[in-house]
Amino acid sequence: METFFLVPVFERYSKWLLFEISNAYRLIGNRLILSDVEDERLAKELRSRGILVFREDFTKVLKELPKPIIVLDPKAKVNLDPGEASSGTIIIGGILGSHPPLGRTSVLISSRFRGFKEFVYFRKIGDRQFTIDGALAVAWLISQGKKLEEIEVVNGLKITQKLPFGLQREIELPYAYPKVNGKLFVSKELLNYLLTS
């Protein structure tokens, strides 16, 4: 059986969001589904990249997706494991991270499932704060049979741009980034955007 990945997107249009979701789609493909996309510009650009996008609330979209449902919530007490991630639907919040985290996944997603314990499980992917695409990559790797502790993760990322006259500009991203097939999983579109904006 296949695992599907549902991302309720609670954000307005931003290039950052577009690039992260596109990066995840390149890895996961048609098993990535977005809901709650109310921003028409964002929906249009995501659809033009081949991504399945719904305006409807994630609880309605879930009715058509396989069970069980696993909600990835940093406040959960148990880590996701390959056995439970090998089928069903994993929900990952499409929430651009604040540093430190504000716990919005619990408020916007987990709280909507109280009382549905027979087919909904709350899990986390360790104690690090991942980007949206990074969290999707980790969940996907676990669904493919990797244990969380086997996934190599880099904490924080520093990108440097050389400027004229021997100057340079540094941008620090405080999030965790997994490695997929030995390579750091981060959107090249996003890095280029940050260095040119």
CA atoms within 13 A on the CB side of 81: 4
pLDDT at res. 119: 77
Is the link from the previous residue into 68 a cis peptide, with omega within 30 of 0? yes
pTM: 0.90
Three-state secondary structure of 45-70: HHHHCCCEECCCCHHHHHHHCCCCEE
d(CA 129, CA 24): 16
Mark the ranges of the chain whose per-residue pLDDT is less than 70.
94-108, 114-118
Where do we find the tokens 């148990």?
Answer: 78
pLDDT at res. 104: 62
Joined tokens for residue 146: 């990797």
Domain-wise residue ranges, the chain:
3-149
pLDDT at res. 9: 92
* CA angle (100 as vertex; 97, 103 as ends), nearest 5: 65
CA distance to 14, 109, 146, 180, per residue, from 177 (Å): 20, 23, 16, 10
d(CA 153, CA 128): 9
pLDDT at res. 196: 81
Q: Which amino acid is present at 71?
A: V
Within its chain, how far is the Cα of 21 from the centroid? Answer: 7
pLDDT at res. 167: 79
Architecture of the CATH domain 3-149: 3-Layer(aba) Sandwich (3.40)
Task: Classify residue 50 by its DSSP letter.
Answer: T
Within its chain, how far is the Cα of 128 from the centroid? Answer: 13
Question: Which of 68, 1, 23 is closest to 188 using CA atoms?
Answer: 23
Question: Which of 172, 193, 176 is closest to 185 using CA atoms?
Answer: 176
